[in-house]
Each structure stands twice: as C-alpha cells, then as structure tokens.
Amino acid sequence: MEDKEKVPTIAQSGTTRRAFLKGAVAATGGAVAIASVASTAPRAAKAEEASPMSRYLFAERQNCTGCRACEYACSTYHEGTVRPAASRVHVLRHKGIVDVPVICWHCDDAPCIEACPVTPKAIKKDKETNGIILDEKTCLGARCLQCVDACPAQYLRTHPDTCMPLFCDLCGGDPQCVKACLAQSGNPQGPCLLGSKVGFGVNQAYRDVTPEEAGEDLVKRFYYPNNDGGRR
Amino acid sequence: MAAPKGGYFGKVLEIDLSKQTTNVRELNDEVARKYLGGSGLGAYYLASEYKAGKDPLDEDAFILIAPGPLNGTYCVSTRTSFINKSPYTGLLSHAEVGAHLGNEIKWAGWDGIYIKGRSAKPVWLYIQDDEVQFLDAARIWGKDTYETEEAFKKEVDNSYARTAVIGPAAENGVPYSAVIVERFRAAARTGTGMVMGNKKLKGIAVSGTKAVPVVDNAKFLPAAMEVKDFAVQREAWAGIKRWGTGGLLELKHWITGSLITKNFQTTWWPEIYNLGGEEANRSFWQRHVACNHCPVHCMKYGVVRNGKYKGLIAEGPEYETGGLLGSNLGMTDFGSMMALIEAADAYGFDAISLGGSLAFATECIEKGVLSASDLDGINLKWGDGDAYLEMIKKIAHQEGKAGKLLGKGVAAMSKEIGKGSEAWAVTTKGKEIAAHDPRGDKARGYSYAMGTCGGDHHEGSSPGGLVLLALFNSLVMCSFVGLTHTKEIPASHVAMLNPLCGWNMTGDELMAVPKRILTLERCFQVREGISSKDDVLAKRFTSEKLPEGPKKGAIWTDEDQKKMHESVYGFLGWDDKGVPTEKALEGYGLDFMIDDVKEARKQYNL
C-alpha cells in the first residue's frame, strides 16, 4: 500500500484478501506473532503538510466508526487534556448500532447568533476563519443559553465547569478533529469529518435533524430491511 | 501512603446494594504502582479480602469494574476489566471488554466501581460523576440486553450514557452468563453476569464530565501519540481492520488447522466458506465499528438480508463467536449462525461456554448417551440452527429439563450424564475452551492451560505472552494495539506512564508488575486447590489425533505438556507443582500471601 496521498480513499485503503491472509498467517500463534510483528519496522511518518484554511465542517455520517478520535483531539486542543464532556464535537451511539457525529455546520444563517439576546452579540463569526467565537465576558452563560435552544442540529452543549456554551472555532482554520479523523486511516470507508474552504451547501434537511433523528436515518440506511434497529 | 498524583483519581466507588449506600475507597499510589489497575487491582482486592473457599455468591462477595491508568487519557484502545470470584469455576476470574465504558468510569472520577451486597428487589445504578442513583429495575427485569440498555437511556434521558447490563440468562442464574456492554460487547467467561443477577443488579449506566489528571502533559501527549501512530501505521493489523477477526475463520481451517469443528472432533470444515469473513463481507457486513480512540475498528456490524432471519442485526462473526456457534455446531447456514450469535448477546450469554455446551450435548446425542426425550424433545443435530436457537431460549429462561441441564455447562453435564461422556467433555479448570484447537495451534495450549482463569484465549501464548497479556489486562489496553509495538515494550509504556502518573518507573519495574499479578492470581487459585495437575488440556486433545486437515495426525503430547509447565513455572518463579515459592513471593513483594500458600501446600499436599 503506497501512500500517495494522506487521505485514504476507498480504492486505496482496500486491503486485499491476499495481503490480509499473508499478514494473518504470520500473526497466528502468540510467540510467532510477537517475533514477526516486531521485525517489521514502522513506516516513516509522513511529514505534515500545511492544510488549507477550513471554513466549514462536514460530517459524512455513514463513515463514522464511533472511535471518538475527534472528541479526543478537540478537547486536547481546547482544554489541554482529554475531556469529551468539554469537546466541541460529539459522537452519539444510537441504539448501539450506529454512530452519529454531532458537529457545528457553521451555518451561513447562524441561528445561534441570531438568538443571542445581548448587544453587541456575544457570539460572532470570525471573518477570516468562519469559526464561531464566544465573548465570555458578555455572554450571559447559564442564565440564558438561547443559542443552545436555537441550534437546529441540537449540537450545542455547555462547558461542565463554566456552563458557557461551547462553540466550534475551527481551531483557527485547521480543525484538529478533521486531522484526527484522517489519522484513523485504514478506515476502509474513508474519513467521516471533512473541512473545506468553500461551503458544502449543506442541505438543510441533512442539517436540521436532532442527533437521534440522524441516528434513525442511519439505521434505515444501513440495516434495511430492519427499519427500527430492534431485534428480530 | 500518598494519593496518586496523576493517571488515577485515588478513589474507588464502593456500592453496597444491601443498604443502598455508597462509600469511597482510597487507592494509594503504592498500590497503583504495584498493580496498575484493571485485573491487577482486582487480583489485589480479591486476594487480600477473600479467604480460601469463599462463596462467590455470598451477600458481601464483590464485583470490581476497573479501568486502568491509561483509560480516559489520550492513549488509544483502552478497555475495562470485570473481576470477581467466578461462581462457575470457583476461581479468580477477570474479563476484559472493549467499548467506551471504562473511559466513562474514569471521566466520572473513579478508578473503579466495587459492588457488593444484595438488593431486595431489582435495581439498577446510574452513576453521574459523584452522584449515584439507585433506580428501580422491576419493570425492566426479564428484558433482553438491548431493551434494557434502551430503557436505561430513556429513563435518565441521557443518550450519551454508557451501559453494562445483564440479560435473562444472568437473572435466571445461568453460571456462564455474561455482562453485555453497549449491545454487542460481552464481559464473559467469569460468571460476572450470574453474580450481578444474584445481587439483583440489572445493570449500570455511567456518565462523566471530568478529565483524568495528568502530571506532565507535555511529555505524556507525545508518548501517547507515538503509540497511536504506531498502531495506525502498523500493517500487521490492516487485515484485522478490513476483515475483523471473522476473517481468521477460513484461515484457521485451511492453514493452521485449528478451527474447532463439531465439538473439537476435527479442524477441517470446508463449509466455513459459507460462514466466515468472505461470506459476511459479501452478504452481511455494513459498518466498521471501533472501541474508544481505536484505529483498528475490528468490530463489524451487519444485517441479514434474506432468508428466514431477514432483518436480524448482529455483530460478527468474530473468530470466537463464529467458531463456537458456527463450525463447532457444524453450522452451514450463515443466517442461522448469526441468529445464534445475536441470541447469545441478547440473552446475555458467554458465547464460548454456550457454544461448548450445545456442541457437547449434540455429541452426546450423536454418540447415543443422551436422547431428545431427555431434552424436552429438542433433537440437537449438527447444523440445525432452529433447534439450537430454541435451546438457547430454554437455557436463558431455565425452562424444563433441557434448559436446566445445558445451563450447567460442560463439566457438570458430563458428570451428570456419565456413560463415558468425559471423553468428549472439553474443559480446562472447569471451563469450556475458546475456538482454537490446541492440537493444531500448540501455542494456544499455554493460554488455555496456563492462563489464570482457565480455557481463555486471551491469556498469552508463551511464557512471555502470558506476561505481556497480564500487563495489557492491568493497564487495561487492547492486545491488538498493544502487540503492535511489542518491540518497544516496556519503553513505550514507561514513556506514557511516567509523565502520566508522576512516577520514575524503569522498564524492569514495569515488567515486574504483570509477573507479580500473575503470581498473586496464582496464589489465589492455589488457595482454592489449583496446582500443576489442573494446568492440563482436555482428554480429547491428548488421546485423539486430528483426523484430517492441514495438521492431520497432530496430538497434544506429554512432552508438549512438560515443556509448557517447565517454561512457565520457571519463568515466573513457581515450583514444579505450579505453586509460587516463598522466595519468589518475597521478590514480588507479595509477603502477605506467604502464609496462605504455606497452608494450601499443607492442605493439598503440594
């Protein structure tokens, strides 16, 4: 498997049956496995390339494996430590069978900013990065939270310590969650989170659903003819 | 007795179900450094709190649900340990399970959950950070694991909570029942489900908002990222990523000759091409699913698209479930096999012991020592999925003669049936073995015979492997990811643990930990009467040659046995009876077990 690009595409990441069997033969039996695994040197990590400025996030929901690497990366970047409760991206496991990435879509109409009652608005969009920035000095915090109610994707959560709403600032144009999602490479379905300079033209029907509704949609999509994800 | 600086909260949540009270147990740095967490911490609690012969179903018997120091941190692929004295085998047992539960326990601010006592009526626990609620489970008692999980989440209106629940099998006291974590992951092989059912505890749900304290984040993060990069890049697991462990089914049939078939009669089962990874890939799999922060995503979820079980959602086949409930039952139809696997999860069974028991009963019928009339008219035949499914329901609800008989497990069944059925009762230390035939794959013999709990596939396949797996089970880390950087162990783990916990551990000190844990676990088993005579494989493997397949004629010989005993006992400092010597115990810092071991030596003539 050559690394032609950092982004694994479906075609590239397909480990062939033959390669799998070859690897697996070597990996049967503990002692043998240890010896053979240890003898293969790791591939040199590819040098980081400067990523383009991202102005929007997009979640290809059916590609999510539910590993939550995005939550780990997000909270590590924003909080300095792993704390999914304070992450700006969440993964909901719905009915135990589908995983729904819950992200900020950076809507052009931004219902959260519209709902903000203070003047001037405590929530702003950064002109350069398109990230949502909260002014914690003017935000009313737990007394208000109208933005949380306004979010059409029910994405917004509050910080467990400060009760301030948590907004996605796109990490200053280089979203860590997108990088983390890519790094879980070898995912034959490809990455789930994507970032882009231009808007994805998010179809509002795709955006304006609660995480649970999105989960139901995924259940139908994956598990046809079982439409409710229950037992048969 | 200082409190731990990082990696741990220094607190274990103690729950008394009898009084419905909670208590905080201190976990000091010294214990953490000696036993790490997970199975190590469980072994420490069990060995120091239980006396020999303790009834595992006593009111004050406990279950410890323990994550390790790395859970909830940036480290990849951490798991959860369930530790208790098994009511099935009467021995110390630990089960490791994937999914997200262990991390959530850490984020709720606990290094473990210690559950004792017995509730008067069905109850379930909701743990939200420091707050513990005892909730009524009367309405969900008797429901399957999927419905239970959904009911929990709905009742507390928290769809992000992580759960561990039991099904009807555990409620009705089947000794090989499991705890099911997040619908399809099972903490099995330990009888934990039965203990929970005995305590009238339907399950727990955990939700946390804290962060694990890290002493030196600047050093810890790069070390953890390095381990992650290693796991991401390692091509050795590319096959597991793509095909799951189900892809090994065909491989073990035609290359290694260790695919168990028809209750271990043979390892040659060409029908496996209709059951294994290739068939699943063609007609079943829909999603790859990962445990927390894991780049390997070995789980595959899918739906049966046609036939009788159309619309059935299940996970797998994994190697163990596909082996035990597929080829070991002589199955030929993929949908029927998936229905059995799904039923095992939904009713809360240990799929390995369940498959072993069904296969044993089928062979009893085949050999004429048992008849359908003994089994409420259910005629078990190789490959008859409907009969097996009916039987699973009967076992789960302990209905009729059949349900009660098969619910005892292979060892007790063969005692009850007699008539020479011991010859095909495949157990080690009273427990069914997993899906690798040790005649074809001799390294697995180590795991089955020498592992702490007996019959487990997850205990390491060489003396060094036993130690490595004991390390992963105490950290608690997945061995798939763990083994990818075997060459760097212990350096890579020391590099993570030292900045995380504020220790100055050397590699030698870290590698002494799993040896200490194995020896402590062994002391516990020795107190219960285990010695080298029990570290053996079933009679079938020593008396019947493999009749066909790539390893035709292979047999487990006395030399294999001798070599295995000598290498493991010597490596861990145990004597030739398999009992840890006094010198070894002192060396490991396990002085508190010396008297117990002395007494056991006297009692059992060792």
pLDDT tens readout for residues B385-406 = 999 999 999 999 999 999 999 9
Contact B241 A99 (CB under 8 A): no
Is the pLDDT reported for residue A23 higher than 70? no
Least-confidence region, from A49-58, A134-143, B116-125, B401-410:
A49-58
Query: Are B489 and B416 part of one and the same domain?
Result: no
A–B interface: beta-carbon pairs under 8 A: 215
B82 bridge partner residues? B65, B95
Q: Which residue of A has its CA nearest to B301?
A: A97
Is the pLDDT reported for residue B563 higher than 60? yes
Q: Which residue of A has its CA nearest to B438?
A: A29
Boundary residue ending a domain (B391, B425, B459): B425
Across the interface, of B209, B292, B309, the residue whose CB is closest to A67 is B292
Is the pLDDT reported for residue A201 higher than 80? no
* Within a domain: B537: yes
User: What is the sign, positive or negative, of the torsion defined by CA atoms of B524, B530, B531, B537?
Assistant: negative
pLDDT bucket at A188, cuts 50 / 70 / 90: low
B113 bridge partner residues? B13, B65
Residues 145-184 (B) with a CB less than 8 A from some CB of A: 146-147, 149-150, 159-160, 182-184
Map tokens 């002395």 to a residue. Answer: B598
- Average pLDDT value for residue range B270-274: 94
Task: Yes or no: say if B136 and B122 are a contact pair by the CB < 8 Å rule.
Answer: yes
Task: Yes or no: say if B187 and B111 are a contact pair by the CB < 8 Å rule.
Answer: no
Provide φ and ψ at B561, rounded to 5°. Answer: -60, -45
Query: Are B451 and B360 part of one and the same domain?
Result: no
Query: B287: which chain A residues are within 8 Å (Cβ-Cβ)?
Result: 62, 65, 97-98, 189, 222
Query: Are B456 and B337 part of one and the same domain?
Result: no
**Confidence (pLDDT) at B239:** 84
Task: Yes or no: say if B314 and B306 are a contact pair by the CB < 8 Å rule.
Answer: no
pLDDT tens readout for residues B407-461 = 999 999 999 999 999 999 999 999 999 999 999 999 999 999 999 998 898 888 8
What secondary structure letter does DSSP report for B565? Answer: H
Query: Percent of chain B having pLDDT more than 90?
Result: 90
**What is the domain range of residue B290?**
238-425
Pairing of strands B113-116, B11-16: parallel
What domain count does chain B have?
A: 3
pLDDT tens readout for residues B498-524 = 999 999 999 999 999 999 999 999 999
**Confidence (pLDDT) at A43:** 37
Query: Are B449 and B421 part of one and the same domain?
Result: no
pLDDT tens readout for residues B482-496 = 777 677 888 999 999
Enumerate the H helices of B120-216 as residue ranges: 145-156, 168-171, 192-198
Is the pLDDT reported for residue A36 higher than 80? no
Boundary residue ending a domain (B397, B425, B453): B425
Q: Which CATH number covers residue B354?
A: 1.10.569.10
CA-to-CA distance for B252 and B267, rounded, in angstroms? Answer: 8
How many Cα atoms sit within 13 Å of B555 on the Cβ side?
11
Is the pLDDT reported for residue A115 higher than 70? yes
Q: Which residue of A has its CA nearest to B278?
A: A17
Query: B241: which chain A residues are within 8 Å (Cβ-Cβ)?
Result: 15, 186-188
**Confidence (pLDDT) at B546:** 95
Is the pLDDT reported for residue A102 higher than 80? yes
Q: Which CATH number covers residue B33?
A: 3.60.9.10
* Within a domain: B5: no
Query: Are B474 and B420 part of one and the same domain?
Result: no
Residues 52-91 (B) with a CB less than 8 A from some CB of A: 72-74
* Residue type, position B577, single letter: K
Which runs of E-coded beta strand occur in B103-160?
A: 113-116, 123-128, 131-136
Boundary residue ending a domain (B425, B453, B472): B425
CA-to-CA distance for B64 and B83, rounded, in angstroms? Answer: 5
Closest CA to B535 of B554, B518, B511, B552: B518
Query: Are B400 and B506 part of one and the same domain?
Result: no
Across the interface, of A34, A42, A67, the residue whose CB is closest to B293 is A67
* Within a domain: B437: no
Domains along chain A? 1-49 (no CATH), 56-223 (3.30.70.20)
Contact B312 A21 (CB under 8 A): no
Task: Yes or no: say if B429 and B89 are a contact pair by the CB < 8 Å rule.
Answer: yes
**Gap from B75 CA to chain A (nearest CA, Å):** 10
Query: Are B459 and B575 part of one and the same domain?
Result: yes
Contact B346 A25 (CB under 8 A): no
**SS3 at position B222:** helix
Query: Are B465 and B507 part of one and the same domain?
Result: yes
Query: Are B450 and B421 part of one and the same domain?
Result: no
Residues 466-505 (B) with a CB less than 8 A from some CB of A: 468, 483-484, 486-487
Task: Kindly state whether B423 is in contact with chain A, defined as any CB-CB distance less than 8 angstroms.
Answer: no
Contact B107 A83 (CB under 8 A): yes
* Residue type, position B278, single letter: E
**Gap from B170 CA to chain A (nearest CA, Å):** 19
Query: B254: which chain A residues are within 8 Å (Cβ-Cβ)?
Result: none
Residues near B264 by Cβ (< 8 Å), separated by ≥ 6?
A: B328, B359, B424, B426, B437, B538, B540, B541
Contact B468 A34 (CB under 8 A): yes
Residue from A210, A222, A231 whose CB has the most chain B CBs within 10 Å, to mutate: A231
Is the pLDDT reported for residue A3 higher than 70? no
Residue from B131, B219, B281, B293 whose CB has the most chain A CBs within 10 Å, to mutate: B293
Query: Are B202 and B245 part of one and the same domain?
Result: no
B207 bridge partner residues? B128
**Confidence (pLDDT) at B131:** 96
Task: Yes or no: say if A61 and A70 are a contact pair by the CB < 8 Å rule.
Answer: no
* Within a domain: B79: yes
Task: Kindly state whether B226 is in contact with chain A, defined as any CB-CB distance less than 8 angstroms.
Answer: no
Q: Which CATH number covers residue B516?
A: 1.10.599.10
User: What tokens does B544 get?
Assistant: 């019947």
Is the pLDDT reported for residue A37 higher than 70? no
CA-to-CA distance for B601 and B606, rounded, in angstroms? Answer: 5
pLDDT tens readout for residues B326-380 = 999 999 999 999 999 999 999 999 999 999 999 999 999 999 999 999 999 999 9
